[in-house]
Structures are given as structure tokens and as C-alpha cells.
Structure 1
């Protein structure tokens, strides 16, 4: 399969995302278009579950590029992220050379520090040429990594290269498409942000979130989808939660209630399945009970009235 060209306009970028089922607003499409055209890394910041990582997956799919993912975590180092040497294979090479009478240490050192013994990790893989063109390089949840590793990335992001002491500098023939995500558990240094284009990925408004649910959970009842989105939007607006539900949790809840053959939000079933939507017990207890019933009542009062029905009548669940 041939590699599609990069989108030539903001509208084409919106269309590219749309073909993969990603419902984006124009501001996100604009900065993504610029990142692709300018060969600059795109730094996406926002709460967990709002779709930051999905953008890299969508680009990989729609542009037919390899996706190379570096999942960050505390203690991530060069050996895990960039490269390391295959020490057992090097030792075998040394023993074989000694047995054959090759004892020139300079030659032996040159022999064992060869690309044959180099184990390539995600950063180095992202700089390699590919038949499909430059890969999509996802650096996921950078805020979980240590500041020392963050500093190491500066060379990669600025010059699309990495230096290996034994081999020298390895530079990408074509810059990878770099997507960096962070959940903002800590601040990322300005030196790294300056090398990127920046975008804050916010929670979607009700209309966009409903469209996302309709696309990702097509089997859900229309009334159920509308009430789930309205419920989640109310939670984000009014409830003092430790962790507000993201779009990922909205989709999970819609899927779960659809699997249970629900056609509208039932207070008892909603209470029993709150663990799909909320991930902290304190949040569940804060919402469960009278608050949950009040939110459901409120969203049904806010629903548009069918023609010919007075405003004082309740709307039956269908």
C-alpha cells in the first residue's frame, strides 16, 4: 500500500481525522496541520482520557506510517528508550576471537561495538528509514519520566538525531512525525516545549462528545447516548471530583450500559455501574444516591419537549 501524502490544508486534516472516526475541533486540526507541514513535534497536553494518544494512532493509520510508541515511566533511561548493547553476544564474539588467536584489543573493541550487537529501542527505531516513510513517533505521558530523560530528548527533538559514543551520531534521513503527550502531573521544561508546537486538548463539548459516542458505540440506544453525555457533562461542570471522567470513560460507560440492554439512564443501574465511569471510591460515593438521581432528573428536565407536549409533563424514557 502506498503512503498517502500529507494533508495540504486544515480542512484536509479535519477530513483525515474524520475518516478514522476521530472527531476533532478546528483548532486541533490547525496545529496538527502545521506540525505536519513544518516537521515540528506536536506537544499535546490535557487530562487523561481526552484522546491525546489516539491522535498518533489515527495518523499512523490514515497516513500508512509505522507507529513507534515510547511509553514513559519513572526511571526510564537511555538503555530502555534509545539503545543498549547485546552483552551476551559481545562476550561470545570476544571468546571466539580469543580462541582464534585474535588478541588485538583495538580491533576487538571495534568489532564488538558494531551495529550487529546494537539493540535498537523506540527512539533509535524512530530515526531509521522506512519503506512507508518517516514513522509516527509517540512519546506517551512524558510527565511520568524523570527530568534527566526529558533533557536527553532535546537533541532528538531539535536535530532528529541521537549520539551513541561507540558509533557516533545517527541522524534521521527524514524527520519522524513526533507526537508528545502529557497529563500534566508535573510541568515539562520550557526548553523542550520550545522545540514543539503546543496544543491543550480539552474535554469536548456536549455535541462533539455525543458524536464521538455515536461513532465509537454505534450499538448504543440514541436516548441512552444522549443521557450519558448529558450526565457526564453535568459531572464535569458541577461536581468536585478527584478525577473527572474523560471521553474514554464516557465510551466505556456507554458500551457497558448498552451491553446490559439499557435504553435510558436508570438510576439503579447507573449507580451499580459507576465504577466504569469513575475510578476513585470517594468520587463514586460522592455521586451515588440522591446526587445521581438529581442529575438524571435535571438532564431530563433540560431535554427538548416533543411537539404537543406541555412543559409540565415528564418525558418518558423510550
Structure 2
């Protein structure tokens, strides 16, 4: 919690336009609304956000009253939902998917006395901040284990939409694997959905048939893990611990820990100290956490994983640390350099070792 508070405080000091939030009367709980792209039971992205909401409520007790709307499609329909939460009296609204960015910005301009926080986007305003986790750090760690555990040197990745956020995770997973096994190749299948268990399963089964024996994902259901267990290969959870769905296949999970951030943001709004920020919290800040390792993880793989977890935790290592080459062999990050955040946030190419092309 302390690290998150420091992160918020530093970002707030850097903000150039303060937001004059009205402090709630002591007896009135702050009404907080959440917009979710999937169902709260998806076991992944939305589930993790809702666990964060519940953790926030537990931490703040009667000082906060929250509500959520689940399975809201990205695009025009989300604007209607966001606007409804604003007119219902919510003083803080979290919109939790990339496709909500423009609708959130539009509604925020129409309701200047309400605070809006958008997950994974890049647009901010006087009453609109952005936040996300550096989950690519977790993807890198999954890759380290995969690179040690694979027998075919072929990994699989079930991907949602070809946006920078997801491309970062595909690349980080591959770079992590290559750091311990230079012969790694990663196959990617894009399902064009955040949550579609049938498509996710089909993609996983296809890559397994093509020789992939360790799978990762940037989708929200446990279908990839379940397919892996049925086929006798390994896979990882994503956004939350999915071990209960496939205990033999689930090696570990890269998880988002939103509760502390949500609680700290609510406190800032109630205190009238909130300012628009652009937060990127990772393992060091406690916003990305790894679930326990499966006993099936070999001692060699566990040792490599723990070594990289340590340097990510103390901030002395970055997953996108050079040398990094793209698919054509062009050097994108020189040895000793780190990819700038601006490039990370707009990443639109595969690193060397990822097969296929990014869909247009």
C-alpha cells in the first residue's frame, strides 16, 4: 500500500492541472461506479477488477458505496452506460477497458465535477486520469518459466485484440522465454475478443496441434488452460489465479492487484486532493503479483524465475531492455538501453522469434 501511495503522490505532483474536487460530507459515502467489459465471473480481467472493488469496499467500509455494470460492449453503448452512472450521482467512475477511452473522455467533459479514471488508455483531462499495470513484467516472467519447461521450443499465445497493450505482452512473453532459451518460437492466434471461451479453446487446441507445449494468453477465460490440461501440456493464468480450473496445467499466473489503487484513489477524491495522473504500476509497486508456482515447475525453471522476479521487484531490470530485434532482424533497442515508455505504449511490431504478422 505504501508503494502505491508514493506512486500516486509522485504522479500528482507532476500533474500540471489540479482538480478541485468537492469533499463529501462526513456522513455521506462516496458513490463510485465501475464499467466492466466482461462478466464478473470471467475468472480473468473483469474478475480481477471486481476483486479490487471489493477490496476497496472492505478497506473503506461505510465511507464508500460502489456499483458496477458488467459485460458492456466497447464503443457507443459504453457511452450510454458511463453517462448513466454519472447522472446517478457517482462522484468517481472507473472505466476498465481500452475501448472505453473516447466515450469516457466525452462524458468527462460533460460532467466536470465528476472524477473519471480510465484503465489502459492514454488520454487524460482536467477530471480524467488513466491507470494500468505493467503486466508485461508478469508476461516476461511467464516466458522465463515457459522457456525452461518447453520440450518443443514452441510456445503458444492466445491473443485478444492487436492493440499495443496486447502486443507488449506477446513480446514480453517471448523475450522472457528467449532469455533462458534462444531457440524459442512463439505462435500467436488472435481471437478478436476479450472473452470468448469457445474461440479461446479453439485457438489453444490449434497451437497445441502445431507443436506448442506451453501456452499463455491475453484473454479472460480459463479455456486456454482447460484445453492445455486436456491435451497434457502446460499453460498460465492471466489477470487472476486460474489454478482451480486446470490444476495440473496451471504453472503460475500473472495477476493484476487493483484494490490498493482503487482505495487510494477514493481517498484522494474524498480528501479533495485528486489530480489527473497516468499511473503504470508493476511488481515493484505491488500492482502486479505472481501466483504460487505449481510443483510441476522444475527446480531449474524456478531458480531462473526467482532470479528475474527479484530484479523486477527491486527495479534494477526492465523486460524491454536491449538488445531487442524485430522480426526482420532490425535492432529496435540497443544493448544496454531500455525501450522508452512512449514506444512501449504504441508498440506495433513483433520481436524476433514471434511467428506470423500482426493483423491490420
Find the structure with the greater CA-based Rg: 1
Same fold by TM-score, threshold 0.5 exceeded?
A: no
Greater helix share, structure number? 1
- TM-score of the superposed pair, with normalisation by structure 2: 0.25
TM-score (normalised: structure 1): 0.27
